[in-house]
Chain A
Amino acid sequence: MSAVWDFLFGSPAFLIFGTYTLMMIVGLGILLHLQLGVTGIGNFGVAGFWGAGLYSFGILQVHYDVGFWLALLAATAAGGVLGVVTGWVIADLDDDGVLAATLAVASIVFLAIESERGITGGRVGLGTIDFPFDVGERTDLAWLAILFGVTGVLLWYARRVHRSPYGRLLIATGTNEPLARSLRKPAKRTKVGVMALTSAGMGALGGLYGPIVHFLFPTQLTVAITVSVITALVLGGQQRPLGAFVGALLTVGLFDIVIKLYVPLPRDLLEHAFPVTKQVIFGALLIFVLLFRPLGFLGRMRRETHVKGLTRV
């Protein structure tokens, strides 16, 4: 029994950090699900919205000694504001324009962090950021529990959206915008609104990531995180709230936790071939899933039974 315990938690710091990452991907994935899977907005700049939150949080904590809650609020606001601006830009662009604009937003955030060294620390980094509380040895576990809670709330909200008129409005806007407009739905405002809401969420997640890494670097905001989130969501099922969760388990969970921690790979392999192989597999998965099972592991949005049930109310 204790052998099993040792095997699983022999290196708790790595396991906890892996799970943090997993939770981040799931959280961002749920928010991207609301953008991409529900509203049809292909956001390729997830890292930018998340990073805006992360760095707002970090700058306020490090340079201005702002308290945790206020800093978290600022992180949320930073994501939200960026979301409003992006939403306004993309509201009447086609999918190619959305790709370009969201990529550009992420790029701008990245460049701004690298260039404004005075407040972001540039490539030297920004730190340190600590947990807002200290319960001794188990502080990191407590933080993990909080992250679980936040992700749970996001999941709950996404599921409720699917069962509410708001979700229907988002789906309608995403699948046939002109038709939605002809049915009194303000498509533009809806898009800006959902971008504001979900990007604020991404900003908040960014803020919550600050204490985990303690030290912020621009390299934490590369396209890799966006690709991980997209891969997880698409693999799990972009139209389902649980999609990101399932997908993240199958990708980050499998590679960054199970294989990295529990499969004895030679150090050399782990450093070079492993991350490269992982990305090759992610890329291949994206292609295969979208070509041959476009709705991912979980499949189509469940609407039928749910509405049938309602009619009997």
Chain B
Amino acid sequence: MDFIAKAVIIGLTEQAPLVLAAMGMALIYNLSKVINVAFAETITLGAYFAQWVNVFFGASFYLSLAVSGILAGALSCATYLVVFRTAERRGVGAVEVIIISLGLSVLLRYALQFVFGYEARFFETPPPTFLKLFDVGFTSFQLTAFILVVVLALLFYLFVQKTVWGRQVRALASDADLAKVSGINPLLTTLVMWFMAGAAGGLAGAFWGVASSAKPGLGWDRFLLTLLVVLVGGTRGLRGVILAGMGTGVLLSALKLEIAPLRAEIVLLVAFILVLKLRGNRFRELAKV
């Protein structure tokens, strides 16, 4: 019981941003059918944007969050318009689009160092108080961050599920042709969606960043896990992504309580690969021959 409680608390507080990031990436994946490697950089830049607003303007962390979300969303839209839309219109193949997004990821990861410098950048936040639950220590800041992530994830979920725009996004993802003949303008809807996805990624980055620092590899280091959560949970919609994200966090912290952290990550990756392998078999019906 104690073990489970520990695993859950550590897993959720440490990996809460993962859920937010995965929701953003899943939205792009479901609608544009694109695995966007450069989403890693949306996450990274989210951290940098928030850090910049926080330190340069002396704004509170919460205000920097809002600005960071908007900037990351705008960046996401820009990458869609400049790169992915062009690829779509030129009929570039699926593997090639992945490589293009890899190129974009590398480009952004290094270009941002020209702007923000080569060194890691730290946030200026008031010193936190330390709390304890079930023998697990965490800071008051981690707690607020966790609550904020939960609220944001919920808002994000409600936006997609309950609003007019969310409905258009889902309709377009469900069947693009039918959406078009129903009067949905695909470009506008797609842009709204890339903005939301970017904002989610940026906010996740800001939360990760404030927990350590904003550095160029921040998003890339977490990309693989985010991708696996999206691929495994994404087949069941946003709810699946949320569950897979939380499950991953808890599983990882449970493993880390038992075995060395690096080995825990290996076990987690192997588990994901096996799930992918088993899931792959179910998609063979799509063959057209």
Contact = CB atoms under 8 A, between A and B. Distances in A.
Contacts of B110: 276-277, 279-280, 283
Given A114-B262, A287-B100, A36 B276 contact: no
Interface in B247-289: 260, 262-263, 265-266, 269-270, 272-273, 276-277, 280-281, 283-284, 287-289
Contacts of A103: 224, 227
A294 B224 contact: no
B58 interface: no
A181 B284 CA distance: 13
Would you call the interface of chain B mostly helix, strand, loop, or mixed?
A: helix
Most chain B CB within a 10 A radius of its CB, from A40, A272, A291:
A291
B98 interface: yes
Interface stretch (A105-113, A147-155, A303-311): A105-113
Interface stretch (A69-77, A89-97, A196-204, A255-263): A89-97
Given A94-B94, A103-B224, A276-B110, A230 B99 contact: yes
B102 interface: yes
Contact of A290 (B92, B105, B260): B92
A227 interface: yes
B104 A182 contact: no
Given A42-B99, A97-B280, A100-B231, A115 B273 contact: no
Contacts of B104: 283, 286-287
* Residues of B in contact with A, size category: 35 or more
Contact of B103 (A99, A107, A276, A283): A283
A231 B231 CA distance: 26
Nearest to B95: A42
Contacts of B220: 223
Contacts of B92: 290-291, 294
Most chain B CB within a 10 A radius of its CB, from A88, A100, A282, A285:
A100
A145 interface: no
B132 interface: no
B103 A284 contact: yes
A105 B273 CA distance: 9
Nearest to B101: A287
Contacts of A279: 106-107, 109-110
Nearest to A86: B273
Interface in A42-99: 42, 44, 88-89, 92-99
Nearest to B259: A115
Nearest to B104: A287
A169 interface: no
Most chain A CB within a 10 A radius of its CB, from B100, B263, B284:
B100
A101 interface: yes
A146 interface: no
B47 to A, nearest CB: 18
Given A92-B284, A100-B231, A294-B92, A287 B83 contact: yes
A53 B277 CA distance: 25
28 contacts: A44-B102, A92-B280, A92-B283, A93-B277, A94-B94, A94-B280, A94-B283, A95-B98, A96-B94, A99-B37, A100-B227, A100-B272, A104-B273, A108-B266, A111-B265, A111-B266, A273-B114, A276-B110, A276-B118, A279-B107, A280-B111, A283-B107, A283-B108, A283-B111, A284-B107, A286-B99, A290-B96, A291-B92
Which 5 A-B residue pairings sit nearest by Cβ, starting from the closest? A286-B103, A283-B107, A115-B262, A283-B106, A178-B289
Given A99-B37, A291-B86, 5 more contacts: A177-B287, A182-B289, A279-B106, A283-B111, A290-B100
